[in-house]
Structure 1
Amino acid sequence: MLPFFCQRCLSEVFGDCPFGLFSMKIVSVLICLMLLSAPSKGDALENIELYIAGYGMATQPLSQGLSFRGKNISDERIHGDPGFGVKIGIFPSFFHGYLGLELESFGQNNSLNFPVEENSTVTGKGKSGLITYSSMVNLIFRYPGRNARPYVGIGGGLSNGILHHTDIPGRLDNNTEMASVPGYQFFGGIQMVIAGNWFVFGEYKYSAANYHWNQFALNFRSEYFLAGIGYLF
Structure 2
Amino acid sequence: MFYLNSKPIFPPIEFADKDGLLAIGGDLSPERLISAYSMGIFPWYEKDTPILWWAPFPRPVIFPSEFHISKSLKKILKKNIFSISFDANFFEVIFSCAELRKEQGTWLVPEMIEAYSNLHKLGYAHSVEVWKDGKLVGGLYGVSIGRAFFGESMFHLVDNASKVGLWGLLKFLQKNDFIFLDCQQSSPHVLRFGAKEIGRDEYKKLLKHALSYPTLFCWQNKSVELGL
Class of the TM-score when normalised by the shorter of the 2 chains = under 0.3
Q: Which has the higher strand share?
A: 1
Larger radius of gyration: 1
Indicate the structure whose relative CO is greater, using CA pairs within 8 Å and at least 6 residues apart.
Answer: 2
What's the TM-score once normalised by structure 1's chain length? 0.24
Q: Which has the higher helix share?
A: 2
What's the TM-score once normalised by structure 2's chain length? 0.24
